[in-house]
């Protein structure tokens, strides 16, 4: 006989985990250390990357 697999529908909390905060501009910024010098501006910059969605922003030192 065949094995019956239970299909579980994800709850709304599981479905939207990590998306609603970034959608409302509440990002979880972390410093990305790969790139520290911007050649075009000629200055040291800090690259911040959101841990949830991956969006990046830069900040001058």
Q: Which of 49, 46, 51 is nearest to 18 (CA)?
A: 51
In this prediction, residue 29 carries a pLDDT of 92
How many Å apart are CA 54 and CA 49, to the nearest integer? 6
In this prediction, residue 49 carries a pLDDT of 92
In this prediction, residue 10 carries a pLDDT of 83
Residue boundaries of the structural domains of the chain: 28-61
Considering the entire predicted model, what is its pTM? 0.57
């Amino acid at each position: 006989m065949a094995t019956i697999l239970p299909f579980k529908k994800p709850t709304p909390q599981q479905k939207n985990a990590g998306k609603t905060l970034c959608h409302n501009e509440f990002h979880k910024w972390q410093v990305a250390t790969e790139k520290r010098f911007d050649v075009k501006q000629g200055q040291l910059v800090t690259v911040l990357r959101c841990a949830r969605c991956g969006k990046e922003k830069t900040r001058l030192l």
